[in-house]
Amino acid sequence: MNVLVACEFSGIVREAFRTRGHEAWSCDLLPAEGSNEYHYRSDVRLILHGNFPLQLGLKHRLPRDWDLMIAHPPCTYLAVSGARWFKDRPKEQELALKFVRTLMNADVPRIALENPIGVISTKIRKPDQIVQPWQFGHGEVKATCLWLKHLPLLKPTKVVEGRKPRVHFESPSPDRWKNRSRTYQGIADAMAEQWGILG
């Protein structure tokens, strides 16, 4: 299965699929953490429209047809955690929502778009599912919404106790937003295991 993981710099979801034998690539404006071997540093819209340039340093050819896209659009102007700034940034929020619509309407047979609770639910549509890390082996709370196209709901794999909102108490630092945005390994593994068999 050809899997595009849009707006991912960590490689967590990409590697969950690659470990299971899929042709998975991540794409982000940021360089990848760790290996860049299967990471395309670019605007994902170029890839979706098939007119991306050759990226120097890539050892492998990027697929042109995708079976599945998992998208993590930036939540700065979308999540409720930033609601106090929304009134001062209406143009930025509209651009963010336009980007979300582009991803949701991409010409890919199966799509999962994830984001925290926020304005996508009211401005576009409600999510198909809300998952928590504690349903997938992590004793933490972090509600993550999933908007799905031709994909089943994720089934919890390991419900655990000790549910703490760790990401909400992340210490201030230049990398705070990165640390808060990474996908939990248990959720990435569930995506790969449950959605990877559909191809």
For residue 28, the 8-state DSSP code is: E
- The widest CA-to-CA distance across the chain, in whole angstroms, is 47
DSSP secondary structure, 86-141, as one string: GGG-HHHHHHHHHHHHHHHTSS-SEEEEEE-SBTHHHHT---SEEE-GGGBT--B-
Question: Mean of the pLDDT values across residues 123-140?
Answer: 96
Which residue type is seen at 81? Answer: S
Q: With a cut of 50, say whether residue 145 has pLDDT above it.
A: yes
Which residue type is seen at 164? Answer: K
Beta bridge mates, 24: 3
pLDDT of residue 182: 85
pLDDT digits (tens, 9 = 90+) for 155-180: 999 999 877 766 555 555 555 444 45
Compute the distance between CA of residue 187 and CA of residue 50 in angstroms, rounded to an integer.
29
Beta bridge mates, 27: 6, 40
Asked if residues 27 and 2 have their Cβ atoms less than 8 Å apart, the reply is no
Closest CA to 72 of 20, 18, 128, 14: 14
Q: Which residues contact 9 (CB under 8 A, 6 or more apart)?
A: 26, 28, 30, 31, 32, 33, 39, 178
Compute the distance between CA of residue 33 and CA of residue 14 in angstroms, rounded to an integer.
12
pLDDT digits (tens, 9 = 90+) for 34-89: 778 899 988 999 888 876 666 656 666 777 789 999 999 998 878 876 666 666 77
pLDDT of residue 103: 97
Compute the distance between CA of residue 116 and CA of residue 141 in angstroms, rounded to an integer.
12
For residue 168, the 8-state DSSP code is: G
Which residue in this structure is represented by tokens 């605007």?
43
Which residue type is seen at 130? Answer: I
Query: Which residues of the chain form beta strands (DSSP E)?
Result: 2-6, 23-28, 39-41, 68-71, 110-115, 129-131, 144-149
Compute the distance between CA of residue 25 and CA of residue 9 in angstroms, rounded to an integer.
11
pTM summary value: 0.88
pLDDT of residue 49: 81
Domains and CATH numbers, the chain: 2-198 (3.40.50.150)
